[in-house]
Amino acid sequence: MSAPRVTAVAEGSVAQQYGLRAGDELLSVNGCVPKDVIEYQQLVDEPELSLDIRRDGVVLELEVLKRAGEPLGIQVDSALFDRVRTCDNHCEFCFIYQLPPGLRPSLYLKDDDYRLSFLYGNFTTLTRFTEADLERVVTERLSPLNVSIHATDPDVRADMLRNRRGATSLRWLRALLDHGIEVHGQVVVCPEVNDGDVLEDTLAGVADEFSELTSVCVVPLGVSRHTSEPRLRPHTRAEATSVVEAVHEWQEINRHMLGRRLVFAADEYYLLAGIEFPDPEAYEGFPMHEDGVGMAATLALEFSGQAEEVTGTRPGFFAWVEGAPAEGYRAPRTDDSTPIGLRPRTGAPVGVITGEYGAAVLGPLVASLGRGDVRVVPVENRFFGGTTAVAGLLVGEDITRTLAGQPEGHRYLLPDVCLSQGMFLDGTRPSDLPRPVEVVPADGVALRRAIGG
C-alpha cells in the first residue's frame, strides 16, 4: 500500500478551506485506509471526515465538516493505492510483448485489474478474478466492465491466453451478467488460431451463453516487426472478408433472436477487406467506439457537419470518480508546451497528418471539400512496423521522416491521439519535428474547424 498523494486542490473547495495542500499524503479517512480511488470516493462522501495526513514527515489529524456527497476537492496521484493487479497471461498477440526496447517503463506494464476496467475502460480476462472481487463489483455496482473473451471454447481460450485458468475464467463473466453488471466483450482474432470455425463457434457461444452482454467487438490482432511469435501473422484480404461476413451473419441472427446486433467488426476489418463501412445506424449507438468500431462512421458524420458534437462513447468512469487521475494512455494528450490548433488560418495550405488507416478514411472526406489547399499526409509506421497503421501509434521518428519531405510554410495538423502529456511514444515531442505542427483533437468536429471546412 502507498498513501495517495494530493496533486491538486480545487479553488474554493472544502479541502482548500480546511488547509489541505498539494503534496499531502492521505493516510486514512475515518480510520479506513482506502485501497483505491473508488473506495476513497465512498469514504469522502460522508459529511463528517476524520483525515490522517502526512505533511513533510509529520502526521496531522484533520476534522472536516461538509454536506453529504459534497466533493472534498482534491486530486490524487494514482487510481490504485495498493498494487496494480498485473496480468499473468502470456498471450502471443499481446502488443506489449511486441514493443521495442528502451521505451518508458510504464508502457511495459500489463494489468488485468477489474478496477482499471471500471475506471478507464481497460479490458480484463478475469483469470485473476476472485469471489471477493465479484462480491465487491456486485455490491458497489462497478459497471460497466470490459472483458476479453477471444474464444468461448475452453481449450482454445487457454491456449490463446497461455494460462490454464483461461479455460474456466469465463464463469466469472456468467456470474457478472447474472448479477446485472453491464459488460462489453472483445474478441481479438488471430489467423489460423481463433478465426474460421472457431470464430463461428465463439459468436454462437456469445449469443447462446452470454447474450446479456451489452456489445462485443471483433478486432484483428496487431503485428509489429518486433514480435518473436512464429505463428503470428497478419490477416489476408480473404480472411478479413470472412470475418466481416461472419459478423454480419451473426448480427442478423442476433437481431432476430435478441432484437439487437450485439457483435460488431472493427473498422480495420472493413479496410483490410475493401468493404464499405456500414451505415451509422448499424452501430447501434457506437458502444465500442473507442475500440475502433464505428470510428470511421462517426468521423464522417462529424466532418460533414451532420454531428455538431463528438459522437461515440468514452468508456470508464475515471472522469466521474473524484480524484481519479487520467493515467497511462488516459493521461492528458497535451501539456503546456504543446502547440494547439483549433482555428483556421488563411493563406497557407493544410496538411493533415495521420496513419495509413486514417489516410484511407480521411482521404475521401478531404476530397469531398473540393479544396486544393487541403491534403492528407499519411505516415508509414516503421518504428513499430508490421501491420501498425493507426494514428494513435504514430511516433516522432516516423513523422519527422515524413515531414522532412513536405513543403515549408504549410500548416500541419497533428491528431492529439498520438500524444500523452505532450510526448510521443518514442519520447520525442512536437517541438522536435522539422516542421511546426498544430495539435488537434482526433475527431471530425475539431478537424473541420481547424481547416475551416
d(CA 262, CA 283): 9
Decide if 216 contacts 199 (C-beta within 8 A). no
* 292 has a pLDDT exceeding 70: yes
* 25 has a pLDDT exceeding 60: yes
User: What pLDDT does residue 135 have?
Assistant: 98
User: Cell 464499405 maps to which residue?
Assistant: 276
Burial of 171 by CB count in 10 Å (0-12 exposed, 13-18 middle, 19+ buried)?
exposed
Alpha helices by DSSP H, 73-169: 114-120, 131-140, 154-161
Other Cβ atoms less than 10 A from the Cβ of 70: the count is: 12
Burial of 54 by CB count in 10 Å (0-12 exposed, 13-18 middle, 19+ buried)?
middle
If pLDDT is split at 50, 70 and 90, which confidence band does 301 have? very high
Instruction: Give CA separation, 97 vs 90, 91, 109, 169, in Å.
Output: 9, 9, 10, 23
User: What pLDDT does residue 69 have?
Assistant: 85
Sorted by where each begins, the domain ranges of the chain are 6-76, 95-304, 332-451
DSSP codes joined into one string, 312-326:
S----STTTSTT---
95-304 placed in CATH 3.20.20? yes
Q: By C-alpha distance, which of 328, 322, 369, 375 is closest to 348?
A: 375
Helix (H) or strand (E) holding 32: none
User: What pLDDT does residue 318 have?
Assistant: 45
User: What pLDDT does residue 453 have?
Assistant: 58
Residue 192 identity: E
Q: What pLDDT digit, counting tens, does each position of 178-205 carry?
A: 999 999 999 999 999 999 999 999 999 9
The percentage of residues in the chain with a pLDDT greater than 70, rounded to a whole number, is 94
User: What pLDDT does residue 78 have?
Assistant: 86
Q: What is 6-76's CATH topology?
A: Pdz3 Domain (2.30.42)
Q: What pLDDT digit, counting tens, does each position of 97-138 carry?
A: 999 988 888 788 889 999 999 988 899 999 999 999 999 999
pTM of the model: 0.91
Mean pLDDT confidence for 428-434 = 95
Q: Report the range of poorest mean pLDDT among 18-27, 124-133, 286-295, 330-339.
A: 330-339
Question: Over the chain, what is the mean pLDDT?
Answer: 92
Higher model confidence: residue 175 or residue 421?
175
User: What pLDDT does residue 387 have?
Assistant: 93
